[in-house]
Amino acid sequence: MHETDSAVRPAVPRAGSTRSRRVKALRLQAELGIDSVGALKEQLTRVLDQPAKVVLDAGEVTRVHTAALQLFCLFCRDRRAEGREVEFARPSPALLAAAALLGASTLLQLAKAAP
Amino acid sequence: MSIDLAQFHRTFFEECFEGIDLMERDLLRMGGGPGGETVNAVFRAAHSIKGGAATFGFAAIASFTHHMETLLDQMRSGTRAISDPAVDLLLRATDALRSLLAAARDGEPLDTARVAGAQAALEAFLGAADAPESTAVAVPAVEQAYLIRFVPAPDLFRSGNDPLLILRELATLGTLETRLDLDTAPAFAECDAESCHMAWSLRLLSSHSRAELQEVFAWVEGSCELDIRLESAAAPPAAVATTGPAVHAVAAPTPRPGEHTVGDGGSIRVGTDKIDALMNLVGELIITQAMLAQLAGALDPVLNEKLLAGLSQLDRNTRLLQEAVMSTRMLPIDSVFSRFPRLVRDLAAKLGKQVRLTTVGESTELDKSVIEKISDPLNHLVRNSLDHGIESPEARSAAGKDAVGTVTLKAAHQGDNILVEVCDDGRGLDRARILAKAREQGIACTDAMSDAEVWQLIFAPGFSTADRVTDVSGRGVGMDVVKKNIAALGGSVELHSSAGRGSRTVIRLPLTLAILDGMSVGVSGEIFILPLSAVIESLQPQAEQVKRVVHQGTVVRVRNEYLPLVDLRQWFGLSGKSRPLHEAIAVIVESEGRKLALQVDELVGQQQVVIKSLEANYRRIRGVSGATILGDGRVSLILDVGAIVRLFSQAQAA
């Protein structure tokens, strides 16, 4: 996973309103298997309290384990509960399919992010 | 923190090999007849292997099993008849699957020709079936709505499972609506990334049966709460949220009635090393208990009434604990017997014989370590029965027997022993031929030997009556190895035969290798333990019962039978002077049908002793099978009666 520290625009135009023009982009790695959820959690933890909008670039995700999806769900739920924004950019078909099967599409607000 | 995949792999492979054994057993049971539940069981096993292989990324195994699964699915749905060629093909495929799994597990080179051959045969078979399948009468599919509550245990991920794969498979069975439940999930910051905090309420519109849906969850049985019910039968479901984040919509948790929960069947997998450690500790406890009992023997029973009552309770509890721990190591002998239908089927076909295998007492339990070691000897005996015992169908018919021969495997408890028998109704052992072969091979024998003694010649190293070395016999494992293996387990082998009517091999084995019921005897101040199972009686002979025979040593007459007498003091070279026998005690023991009187100074008592390996702690000594620690801390040797009887007869013959 690559983390960009500077404020960058996400790869796709942002949908909806934002309170801040600043965004924090995280590029998700392709393989989100059970063996990588530890690292994924660390990465997400670093931006959990980030006031800027967090954009998770999921364009390269080819494989996703339920454990990774669970992290996304909890991350999105907790951030939104704090009134902070988070969204997915370029969700890959693998991620969309997994979220749909697990019933997490709504929570992750993938419908509006889908290309 | 990262998950160690190796431990999942180990479990996966264990379960796969169990699954294959089961498939093979059930396939043989199916053999041409109507399938019913059996074909379902085989299908489930194949399905589990496929699921596991896909989860762990063993693509070749998953794809191979997929073909088997397809064929089995056709068989169970009735679109394909359960025919002998199909069963043969599936059996061939289980072999290939086994080698695929072994290759994946051990990194051994793969028998690619066999796997490719089996796969091509399966594909060809399935291809040929496509036509009849399409013409098969389609069962009118009635769609039903199922409500499924799936609550994975937190450690579900750690057991190598992914709910995503389960739901994906479920979705193939019909139209799936999913509602995710994060109610019990902790905050992101506090969650354990590798624990499952999610639960699902699913609604599936499907024409499949409930059992079929349950199969999808077979892989996670025991690590989840599962409730599958028909919507019509269920209480009105909580409204499925269609607006807003689903996670907030689930207000009340769906009822989870316990009776529908698919449990783990009340069993867990435990490493044998842990059970061995437990067994060892129980052994130490028994020694401690024996020590306390010995010390308490010197106490005044009136003054120490409570202490003694406590000690007797300790004695009882120790015994119960020992039995309980031992029972955890017990497995039904079926795990060995179940390998034989396949062996007999293949061998009989190879030898051009017709053989029926019957098994009796498959549920008899014995120690796991004994089970592992008895498999090879049994294998050899069954091969022998088929190769040498059972005649060709023509010869059988000519002799007025059923053209189909019968080989019977029996297991039963007898006291502290297990009896395992291999019987056949073949031609029996040929006394003249055995004697002739023995002479040819320079084994000492005479025509005057009793039948039992002649049969024992078979166990001599290098003995073989086979005129030709076939694929079946002559693989370098002789009956001597069978006997040696069984003797190493503390067991014995007896042969019975009647010409033209068949032969019977009886293997007698101790229930466990860890604890022995022993009789302690005193010789020159030393205590020796005799296995109680070998002791027939003990007596103090009258002077006139003892006779010295020139060159034959001393014999004791017991009820008109003359038994050779062995003075244990001399045998072990102990100090002190032997008492005249009428002042000592003769313990009569039996092994392999031969009796011997052992002269000892006194009978000390009867007790359970924990067997400690002498080989592991010192070295092997002939005539001694192990050692134990007595209550007073002294080491006592456990006598190997079988070896003493053998050594004594050899000394006599020399």
Q: Are B461 and B468 in contact (CB under 8 A)?
A: no
Q: Which two tokens stand for residue B571?
A: 């045998």
The predicted structure's pLDDT at residue B529: 93
Q: Same domain, yes or no, for B355 and B473?
A: yes
Q: Which two tokens stand for residue B423?
A: 């019987």
A17 is a domain residue = no
Spatial separation of the C-alpha atoms in residues B424 and B406, rounded to whole Å: 6
Q: Same domain, yes or no, for B118 and B37?
A: yes
B243 is a domain residue = no
A13 is a domain residue = no
Q: How high is the ipTM of this complex?
A: 0.82
**Within a 13 Å sphere around the CA of B544, how many CA atoms are in the beta-carbon half?**
2
Within 10 angstroms of residue B478's Cβ, the number of other Cβ atoms is 20
- A7 interface with B at CB cutoff 8 Å: no
Q: How many CB pairs under 8 A join A and B?
A: 96
CATH of residue B638 = 2.40.50.180
Q: Are B225 and B217 in contact (CB under 8 A)?
A: no
Q: Same domain, yes or no, for B371 and B460?
A: yes
Q: Are B547 and B557 in contact (CB under 8 A)?
A: yes
User: Which chain B positions have a beta carbon within 8 Å of A37's beta carbon?
Assistant: 193-194
B255 is a domain residue = no
A55 is a domain residue = yes
CATH of residue B501 = 3.30.565.10
Which residue in A34, A78, A103 is closest to B194 by CB distance?
A34
Q: Which domain does B64 fall in, by range?
A: 5-135
B198 and A70 in contact by Cβ < 8 A?
A: yes
Look at B85 and B4; give whichever has higher pLDDT.
B85
Q: Which two tokens stand for residue B511?
A: 């229930």
Helix axes B37-55, B59-77, angle to 10 degrees: 160
A65 and B176 in contact by Cβ < 8 A?
A: no
Mean pLDDT of B103-120: 80
Q: Same domain, yes or no, for B503 and B519?
A: no
* Angle (nearest 5°) at CA B406 between B483 and B434: 45
What is the count of structural domains for chain B?
A: 5
- Residue reference for tokens 């905050």: B187
The predicted structure's pLDDT at residue B255: 37
Helices (H), B329-339: 334-337
**Within a 13 Å sphere around the CA of B412, how many CA atoms are in the beta-carbon half?**
7
Query: Phi and psi dihedrals of B393, rounded to 5?
Result: -55, -40
Q: Same domain, yes or no, for B216 and B307?
A: no
A14 is a domain residue = no
Spatial separation of the C-alpha atoms in residues B469 and B481, rounded to whole Å: 17
Q: Same domain, yes or no, for B593 and B625?
A: yes
- Residue reference for tokens 């509602």: B179
Predicted TM-score (pTM) of this structure: 0.48
pLDDT digits (tens, 9 = 90+) for B142-176: 678 888 999 998 888 888 888 998 898 888 888 88
Q: Same domain, yes or no, for B527 and B503?
A: no
Mean pLDDT of B66-76: 84
- Residue B381 burial (C-beta neighbours within 10 Å; 0-12, 13-18, 19+): buried
Spatial separation of the C-alpha atoms in residues B537 and B603, rounded to whole Å: 11
- Residue reference for tokens 């519109």: B205
Q: Same domain, yes or no, for B151 and B279?
A: no
Mean pLDDT of B325-337: 84
Q: Measuring CA to CA, which residue among B431, B583, B429, B584 is closest to residue B496?
A: B429
**Domain boundary at B463, B491, B510, which?**
B510
Give every strand in the sheet of B602-610, ordered side by side.
B602-610, B515-523, B526-531, B635-639, B624-629
- Residue B4 burial (C-beta neighbours within 10 Å; 0-12, 13-18, 19+): exposed
Which residue in B164, B188, B246 is closest to A98 by CB distance?
B164
Q: Same domain, yes or no, for B499 and B530?
A: no
B197 and A74 in contact by Cβ < 8 A?
A: yes
pLDDT digits (tens, 9 = 90+) for B184-232: 888 898 888 888 999 999 988 888 888 888 888 888 877 888 888 887 6
Q: Same domain, yes or no, for B104 and B152?
A: no
B269 is a domain residue = no
pLDDT digits (tens, 9 = 90+) for B443-459: 777 777 888 788 888 88
**Domain boundary at B327, B345, B365, which?**
B327
B32 is a domain residue = yes
Q: Same domain, yes or no, for B489 and B424?
A: yes
CATH of residue A86 = 3.30.750.24
Q: Which two tokens stand for residue B25?
A: 């057993």
What is the count of structural domains for chain A?
A: 1
The predicted structure's pLDDT at residue B512: 67
| Size of chain B in residues | 654
Q: Which domain does A101 fall in, by range?
A: 2-7+22-113
Which residue in A38, A48, A77 is closest to B193 by CB distance?
A38
Q: Which positions in chain B have a beta carbon within 8 angstroms of at least one beta carbon in chain A?
A: 1-3, 5, 157, 162-164, 167-168, 171, 176, 178-180, 182, 185-189, 191, 193-194, 196-198, 200, 244-247
B395 is a domain residue = yes
Q: Same domain, yes or no, for B376 and B492?
A: yes
Inform me whether the pLDDT recorded for B237 exceeds 50: no
